[in-house]
Structures are given as structure tokens and as C-alpha cells.
Amino acid sequence: MRIDLEPDEWWWGGAVADGTLMPFGAAPHRRDLATNAGLVGDPTAGANQSAPLLVSSHGRYVWSDEPFTFAFDGEGGLEVEGDVALRQAQGALGGAQGAEERAQGTLGDAFRAAARDHFPASGTTPAELMFTAPQYNTWIEMPYAPTQEGVLAYAQGVLDAGFPPGLLMIDDRWSEDYGDWRFDPTRFADPAAMITQLHAWGFAVMLWVVPFVSPDSENSRTAATRGWLVREPDGRPAVREWWNGFSTVLDLTNPDAVGWLRRELDALRTTYGVDGCKLDAGDLRDYRPTDVTYAGTGPGTPTKQSEAWARLAAEYPYNELRACWKAGGQPLAQRLHDKPPTWGADGLGSLIPEVLAQGLIGHPYGCPDMVGGGELGGFLGGDPLDAELFVRWAQCSVLMPMVQFSLAPWRVLDAEHLAAVTEAVALRQRLLPELLALVEHASRAGEPVLRPLAYHHPGFEQVRDEFLLGEDLLVAPVLEPGVARQHVTFPPGRWVADDGAVVEGSAERDVPVDLSSLPWWRRAA
């Protein structure tokens, strides 16, 4: 199908990894949603959430129940390959529909219509604690080596620094092997006592889980015998390379395989008091159209596996996904892929456009990766910590649906920079009732918590470094180093700053900022 773009029409959707390229329309861009592969050499293929949805600033949207390929040619055309429908917010487009009628819709109209018809809100949210306090993760502090003593010391550090207790995730290698969902006794001598203490301090506890099973293990042999693994066309268990080596892969479309994993996870809850799981991986790149699975074989095999991973996650109020196919409107915490500790479009500059992209494919409960970056390699080279970057990352994150720390600010920052981070967290706590109201609204109406300005204000499609929290709070975090004045675009309305200063929109202003500044305004009634 060829779609001719209307004048000043812009599009979002497809893959969250393309967020920094959105809105689409001016430049060539191609994405195959069946494999989540973009342009040749795209390193982000499959790294995050994706959905068979494109939404337009003119109230149009493209939807399919199956993955499709789309390509903007940069010259006013959009080619879509697959069994897709092009619809207007008011109904299906027909050849007799006039241009004047077509132009009446907005980005918000398009999204609401798509959500209503294709991925209605579930009426539930992830666990409330995932929003009411920062989340904490052991990954950067204890990479591949969490221990009972280390976890308790990390949690004690949270409290000693005056940060509120919240969700604490114990990341990779809490177990002895992949596919062995039991605490490593050499690292965790008494996990039940550890979790009891964490609960007493006010923390909930999640464990990191992947759908991989180490090939030379008893569990892998058992799973292979019972038909619970993804298989090659010749019947052998598929062994796939991922970021931690080579493993066999659970067939997530097989109810018996998922039942086995569910029993293992539930045993962790009943035996030790674990509250939930961070379900990592589930990427489309880990599967092949030729794989033999319970659900069959063919082009839809990768997306079916990823979708099944999300269904399992949705069974637990405490959950986190980093990769997902479809599942819009479900009570799923969706984290951005691991970011390097850098300024610019790969690091800090990617947070706003990618969390906005999450919301516009149906995932309102976004988490902008760990404050300061969650890509471990960025912390292993011996480079000094960029304290200003850490502060700006925290400020950018605290008014998003979720905020997550790993690298401990109380350990790595001096007093001035730590105070700026603490102030940002305090602002989140102050605005928490409004944030929770938006989370509740998302669970009922499906609308994003974080929204681009164009969602409510046509003509502001190119503003990519600001966001609306709901309809009434405008947030413009500082995203570049050494900034003394922040350029801010104000949509129509009367916008009141925290200090009472008023800006009448539409307008552009240069706002003075210092290290502690997180510029935000409230729309006056």
C-alpha cells in the first residue's frame, strides 16, 4: 500500500528504538517489524518494544494484527508491505473522503482510536510501588556478582542517603546458571532472611530472569526431552548467541514450557518472598522464522515468542520488560534498552523521544533506563564519572512514569551534585498525586502518561526535547552540558512556573538554569 503524506503530516510508531528519528516524514526510513530490523547495519535491531502501528498528526493510523514493513521515502510517500488497514480516527478511509475531512484529526485522535479498536486498556497497572518511589537495581554496582551482603548494603545506602525505599531488583547472576532459577548458595546463604529484611525496610524485591537455558545443564536436557525448547528445522534444540554467550531457548508458545517456568518463579515467591521478576531478553533477534515451535513455524515465529514473554510478565504486578511485541494497554513496565553514559542521541538525548514512542504504541508505563546509563561497558573503561550528566539524567527521568537508579548517587557524587539529584527526587514525590492520577487514567483510557506536545497541540510536531505530563504539565529538562540558558517552546495556553512566573503561549523563551534546575510549568485553568 502506498500512502501519500498530506502537507505537514508527521508519523510515529513501529519500533521504540527509532524514537530519536520520530516523527517520520521528512527523511527516508525503513523498518521490518517482523524482525525489527531497520536500515542496514542498524545496531538497535530488536532492542526494545515494537508494535504493528503507525499514528499520524492528521488523525490517521496504520494497523495490522501481524508485523509489516514500512518505508518513508523522504519525498512525501509511505510504502507499507503487509495485510494492513489505513484508518482515520472517525472511521476507515475511502477514496471518496475529501482532503478537508481527512485533515480534521490530530495525533491524539489517531492514538485514541487505534487504542480503542486494537489494544484497549486492561484497567490495571503495574504495582503501585513501581511509581511511588524510585526503583533500584544492582546491575552497575554489582555486575554479574550480586551477593546477599552486597544487596543489603546497597539497600542500607538508599536509606542512609535519605532516598525513599522502593522496588529493588537483583540483576544477573543471582542464580548459579541460566535456566536454573534457584539462588546461588555461595552468594546468597539465606535469601529468605535477606528478603525479610528488605521488606522490613520498605523494599519490594524482583529478580532478573531470561528465557535462556545453559545448554550443558540438567535443565536444558530435561527441557529438550520434554519438547520445551525452540528447535532447528532438523529437530535439534536451537542454540543462540546472546550477550552472555550461547544458550538454548525456551519455547514460550508451549504452555507446558511456560508452566514449568511459572512454577519455578512462583516457588521463588512462596519460598523466599520474592515479589516479581524483571523479564529481560525476549528479543525478536533471538528467534528465526524457520524455528520449529509449539505454535508452528513461519514469518511470525519471532513475534509470537516475544508476545508470549509479555503475557507471562503481565501475570505479575511486579514486572519489567525491555523487549516486547504488541501487548499495548497491558499492565507492563517497559524499560528502554541499556544506554551508554553519554550526552546526545545515544544516551541522555534518547530518553524523551523513546519514552514518548513507547506511549504512542500503547505502553504508558515507561522507564527511561537506569539513571546515568545502564550499559555496563560505559563504566568499565576507567573514565571519570560525568557528574553533571548524572544529575541531568536524574532530572530528565524523575517526571517520567518510572525512575530507576543503579549506580549509587550517594557513593559517586559530591555534595553539590547529590543535592541536585535529591532535589529532583523530592520534586517527583511532590507531584506524585498527579502522576498517579495519570497512571490510573492510562489504565482505563489507554492514553500515554508522557505525551509529545503535538498530542494536544497540532503544529508542535518537531519539539523533541520537551514533553507534556498529561495535558497540564510542561517539562523541558536540560539535555546538554554547561547550559546556562535553556531554550523552551511553549504551546498555546498560560504556563505558570514553580516560582509563579507566567508565560503566555505560543512562545519561545530562553530560561536561566543552574545545576539544580529542572524547568517545568503548569497550564493555568
Q: Which of 70, 99, 118 is the last residue of a domain?
A: 118
Average pLDDT for runs of 10 along the chain of length 525: 97 97 97 75 67 98 97 97 93 44 80 98 99 98 98 99 99 96 98 99 99 96 97 97 96 98 98 98 94 93 96 98 98 97 97 99 98 93 92 99 98 98 99 99 98 98 98 99 98 97 97 98 95
pTM for the predicted model, two decimal places = 0.96
Q: Are 36 and 44 in contact (CB under 8 A)?
A: no
Helix (H) or strand (E) holding 469: strand 467-469
Single residue among 376, 411, 438 that ends a domain in this structure? 438
Residue 33 identity: L
- From the list 467, 369, 357, the residue with the least C-alpha distance to 14 is 357
261/339 same-domain check: yes
Can you read off the three cell numbers belonging to residue 366? 515507561
pLDDT of residue 97: 38
Range of the domain at 512: 448-523
Question: What's residue 40's pLDDT?
Answer: 43
Q: What is the pLDDT of residue 100?
A: 44
Residue 88 lies in a domain: yes
DSSP state of 222: H
Indicate which CATH number applies to the domain containing 496.
2.60.40.1180
Tell whether 469 is covered by a domain.
yes
- In this structure, the answer to whether residues 340 and 475 fall within a common structural domain is no
Same domain for 181 and 259 = yes
Q: Among 78, 80, 45, 79, which residue's Cα sits nearest to residue 64? A: 80
Tell me the C-alpha to C-alpha distance, in Å, between residue 322 and each of 223, 224, 258, 353. 25, 27, 19, 16
Q: Kindly state whether residue 263 falls inside one of the protein's structural domains.
A: yes
On whether residue 222 sits in a domain, the answer given is no
Residues 149, 43, single domain; the answer is: no
Are 238 and 227 within 8 A, CB to CB? no
Does residue 312 lie in a domain region? yes
Q: 430 and 454 share a domain? A: no
Q: Note whether residue 240 is domain-resident.
A: no
Is 427 in the same domain as 345? yes
Do residue 17 and residue 157 come from a single domain? no
Backbone angles phi, psi at 454, to 5 degrees: -65, -15
| Amino acid of residue 405 | F
Residues 151 and 202 in one domain: yes
Grid coordinates of 87: 484508518
* 299 and 341 both lie in a single domain: yes
Q: Is residue 101 a part of any domain in this protein?
A: yes
Distance CA 512, CA 67 (A): 46
Q: Which helix (H) or strand (E) holds 348?
A: none
CB 415 within 8 A of CB 150: no
Identify the CATH number of the domain in which residue 263 sits.
3.20.20.80
Q: Are residues 90 and 200 in the same domain?
A: no
Q: Which residues contact 264 (CB under 8 A, 6 or more apart)?
A: 181
What is the Cβ-side half-sphere exposure of residue 18, based on CA atoms within 13 angstroms?
Answer: 30
Looking at the structure, do residues 402 and 283 belong to the same domain, yes or no? yes
Q: How far is CA 301 from CA 31, 37, 332, in A?
A: 18, 15, 22
CA–CA dist 4, 6 (Å, integer): 6
Distance of CA 297 to the CA centre of its chain: 28
CA distance 10 to 6: 9
| 3-state class (DSSP) for residue 158 | helix
My answer on whether omega of the bond before 122 falls inside 30° of 0, hence cis, is no
Q: Give the chain's largest Cα–Cα span.
A: 71
Out of 390, 408, 438, pick the residue that ends a domain. 438
Q: Do 52 and 171 lie in a common domain?
A: no
- The number of domains in the chain is 3
**Which residues, other chains included, contact 441 with Cβ-Cβ below 8 Å and sequence gap of 6+?**
447, 470
| Domain assignment of residue 299, yes or no | yes
Task: Name the pairing type of β-strands 29-32 and 450-451.
Answer: unpaired
